[in-house]
Copies of this chain bind each other. A is one copy, B any other.
Amino acid sequence: MRRTRFDDWPCPIARTTDLIGDWWTPLVMREAFLGRRRFDEFQVALGIPRAVLAERFKRLVAEDMLEKVTPDGGRAEYRLTAKGRAFWDVLAAMWRWGEDWLWDEGDHPPLVLRNRETGERIRPLVLDERTGERLDLRTMKVSRRRADD
Contacts and interface: CB of A to CB of B under 8 A. Distances in A.
Interface string A93-133: 11111111110000011111111110011111111111000
Count this chain's copies in the assembly. 2
Contacts of A61: none
Contacts of A23: 3-4, 6, 17, 21
Contact of A12 (B4, B20, B102): B102
A20 B11 contact: no
A97 B92 CA distance: 12
Contacts of A123: 128-130
Contacts of A121: 130, 149
Contact of A142 (B101, B111, B128): B111
Nearest to A98: B12
Interface of A: 3-4, 6-7, 10-17, 20-21, 23-24, 26-27, 30, 33-34, 48, 83, 85-102, 108-117, 120-130, 135, 137, 139-145, 149
